[in-house]
Chains A and B, each alone.
Chain A
Amino acid sequence: MFESITQNLTGALSFFRRGGKLTEANIREGLEAVRQALLEADVNYQVAQDFANRIADEVVGEQVLKSLDPTQQVIGIVHRQLCELMGPVDHSLPPPSSEPVVLMLCGLQGSGKTTTSGKLARLLQTQGRRPFLVAADLQRPAAIDQLRIIGEQLGVPVHTEVADGNNAVRVCQNGVAAARKADADIVILDTAGRLHIDTELMQELQQIDRKVNPHQILFVCDAMTGQDAVNSAKAFNEALELDGVILTKLDGDARGGAALSVKAITGVPIKYIGVGEQLDKLEPFHPDRMAGRILGMGDVVTLFEKAQEQFDADQVAEQQKKMMEGKFTLVDFKSQMQQIKRLGSLKDIMKMIPGMGNLVDAHPDMDAEGDMQRISGIIDSMTPEERVNPELIDLGRRRRIAAGSGVEPSDVNQLLKDVSAMAGVMQDMASMPMWKRLGAASQLANTFAQNPGAQIQAPQKSTVMSFDEKRRLQEKKRQQRKDTKKAKKRNRR
């Protein structure tokens, strides 16, 4: 998400870096590039203009020009301005009480209201609330069925009524009453999509607002919307006093400029973002983290939170111990892969790690999930002993494993080499202090960005050898020479 903004903005900011020193002239050039990057990302013209001006005001201040690292300062300013542009956000909902809390979703056609209703219900479920859905979209054919099916998938009760000749206000009123009876503590009203210039339908929404009196009204907005997003958000806000925006379809390559504009123009904050088709793909929106992502600084906080949710702490501790000791086996490798898989798609994960984002852009056809599946296939085809002790695997066993997992024997070989090299790298990294580890990781990422097919190289050990090591090496080489001689003899026969 936000790739294009990121790319363009990073490009624009590189203007500031030229020549290493900031002058008035390259500031102006750089800011023009920033403005254009924002416009190309569908940011509203006025917002882009104001944004560029605000940054100019701060940057031109003497302190920046005279500071040691002006570029970093400019990026810092942009980051702070982006946060201010998109925030602050309050995700809190009214606490559970005897009366159910009512949330109303509204928006244009096709913005994703029905799917978002389901996602929101699921999110609330995980927070221990008891959600209840009301199908108030009587316009679109089969919208009611859609919500009913989603409700069944989630195990959330859905209030439905016949669409023909019915009216949405009544459905909402009945829905809230039904929710009370069903002992739900939060009700989500899924209203029909409508254009903000359709006075009749907008009045219907106002009527629901008056009769049902929802605690929060959320505007669902498609991240791909262009300049009109601001107009529709403004019109809905004038009619209904919105409490928040849910930005959907952010998993594509949408530039999300709407996200930057809506808050700036209407003052209504973005509260949630939809990042996938599955019902669990709704996340609370954090302006500071998003600003980091837009500037290509990664989003380690979200990654860390996700990891904490999904990982088993004991397992992680044990693995780390093994890594330190260099006893990292195929079994550990596989369980680690499975843990990572739980976090979501590899691409998404990589984008959250600083410096790894451009790796994803550099290799768009990278099929990381497929590779992972192949690798776990190979490991599954090994016997338990082989997994712990890969030295056992000779030519015959390698063939058997390859046949069992449907790959070439050379693939098996490659995996064994990679894992043993990785064990070395990890052992080294584990003994490093934290800040060095990050450096080592991003170095690894850069190597891959340049040469994705590269094997992981075992770290070069110090060339100063102890006496014992030297002797062992000499012995090994002598043995190798002997073996080759023998082999040559055998071949001659």
Chain B
Amino acid sequence: MGLFDKLKKGLQKTKDLLRTDVRDLFKAGELLEEKHIEDFYARLIGTDMGVEASKAIVTELREKHLGRTVVIDEIWKTIRDKLKSLLKGGEGTLWDVNNKLSPLKLAPTGTTVILVAGVNGVGKTTSIAKLANLLQSHGKKVVLAAGDTFRAAAVEQLTLWSRRLGCEIVTKAASSDPAAVAFAGCVRAKEIGADVLIVDTAGRLQTQQNLMKQLSKIQRVIEGQIPGAPHEVLLVLDATTGQNGVSQAKHFSEAVACSGLVLAKLDGTAKGGVVVAIRQTMSLPVKYVGVGEQVDDLELFDPEGFVDALFEK
């Protein structure tokens, strides 16, 4: 399978939807009317990219093509270019598509710490397993810290994964302080000279202020143990999330200064369009996307590739 094949497969539904829409709505040779544009707007809303982004695209369409004869390829180009510019945000975040680790800021020496956070049920633990697998396949020595001490059996879930992956895991009893688990993880990682420590956290809604403070504390504890850490704070986002994703990104960034997003569960019919809305309101790039249930179904996110996958023939 090629590099983007899985990503493309994950986005197949969205792609089909948009492509057929464009073909159905805009017929070559006809005049482009307001009615067509309003219909297309409805479909864009359906991708969860938000009212603002959808309006931006529709406005562009209106300016360039309204009242003219439809040339499908030109309409395509307008939509694609606009979407790309929306996704890249201010500073175009681009990384080496051939090196899957390139989005991660790894420590030059010593242990790199990756803190993973997100709301309940977005797929944090599974994403951690996938990330650990990716790092291991690149010859990194990985330690996991089971920081979700709240949800029943969350520690067991991560422990099962660590056994499958054959990496070490640091655990503490249920309902112990997650910061203590992070601390123990740092100690253990330094002890055995691990390359990467991935710290799991319990799912929390971004409006629960006490829990958000707890998250900041975990970050401080990690920083106290390993200077400069955590090197990456990844926020896991469910691809089916609607406009609430923007609120999640905002609040989590306030608490722990997120460095990037992982878009999980992009294998449904979900569009993951909310990343466009997030990119519009803040400069948080998507680093990885989860595109399947298997442990190696984690792909690097590349805005160019994402849009091309959406529109490719």
Contacts and interface: CB of A to CB of B under 8 A. Distances in A.
A255 B242 contact: yes
Contacts of A148: 153
Contact of A228 (B205, B247, B268): B268
B182 to A, nearest CB: 21
A228 B120 contact: no
B242 A252 contact: no
Interface in B228-264: 238, 240-245, 247-248
A39 interface: yes
B160 interface: yes
A42 B241 CA distance: 9
Contacts of A20: none
Contacts of B241: 224-226
A488 B271 CA distance: 78
A227 B48 contact: yes
Most buried by A among B13, B51, B240, B248: B240
Interface stretch (A107-115, A209-217, A329-337, A464-472): A107-115
Interface residues of B, number: 45
A39 B45 contact: yes
B18 to A, nearest CB: 13
B157 A141 contact: yes
A229 interface: yes
B242 A227 contact: yes
A153 B152 CA distance: 10
A463 B172 CA distance: 67
A153 B265 CA distance: 31
B89 interface: no
Contacts of B42: 45-46, 49
Interface residues of A, number: 49
Given A146-B151, A146-B153, A42 B122 contact: no
B147 interface: no
Given A227-B45, A227-B46, A249-B119, A145 B156 contact: yes
A176 interface: no
Interface string A141-171: 1111111111001000000000000000000
Given A40-B51, A252-B206, A145 B153 contact: yes
Nearest to B248: A224
Main SS class of interface, B? loop
Interface string B25-51: 000000000000000001001111011
A258 B244 contact: no
Interface in B143-158: 150-154, 156-157
A228 B121 contact: no
A110 B120 CA distance: 7
A224 B50 contact: no
Nearest to A257: B242
A108 B119 contact: no
Contacts of A254: 244
A190 interface: no
A365 to B, nearest CB: 8
Contact of B242 (A109, A142, A225): A225
A225 B267 CA distance: 15
A141 B160 CA distance: 7
A46 B45 CA distance: 10
B161 interface: yes
A7 interface: no
Contact of B157 (A109, A140, A150, A257): A140
A140 B120 CA distance: 15
A36 interface: yes
B270 interface: yes
B186 interface: no
Given A42-B244, A142-B159, 13 more contacts: A110-B122, A110-B238, A142-B160, A149-B153, A196-B268, A222-B240, A224-B119, A224-B241, A227-B45, A249-B121, A252-B205, A252-B207, A254-B244
30 contacts: A36-B51, A40-B51, A41-B243, A110-B121, A110-B122, A110-B123, A110-B265, A111-B121, A141-B156, A141-B157, A141-B161, A142-B157, A143-B157, A145-B152, A145-B153, A146-B154, A148-B153, A195-B268, A224-B242, A226-B240, A226-B241, A226-B242, A226-B270, A226-B273, A227-B271, A228-B271, A251-B205, A251-B208, A253-B244, A365-B209
Minimum-distance CB pairs A-B, first 4: A226-B242, A110-B121, A42-B242, A252-B205
Interface of A: 4, 36, 39-42, 45-46, 49, 108-112, 115, 140-150, 153, 195-197, 222, 224-229, 231-232, 249, 251-255, 257-258, 277, 365
